Amino acid sequence: MAGSSHGHTPAAWTGVIISFIGFCVAGVFMVAANPAGFWAGIGVTLLGAVVGLAMKMAGLGMPKESPEYAAARARAGEAQPSH
Digit-coded pLDDT (tens) for 35-63:
999 999 999 999 999 999 999 989 888 87
pTM: 0.71
Task: Tell me what the pLDDT averaged over the chain comes to.
Answer: 86
What is the end-to-end Cα distance of the chain in Å, rounded? 17
* Close Cβ partners of 14 (under 8 Å, ≥ 6 residues apart): 48, 51, 52, 55
Q: For residue 8, what pLDDT band results from cuts at 50, 70 and 90?
A: confident
> Does 11 have pLDDT greater than 80?
yes
pLDDT the model gives residue 61: 83
pLDDT the model gives residue 51: 96
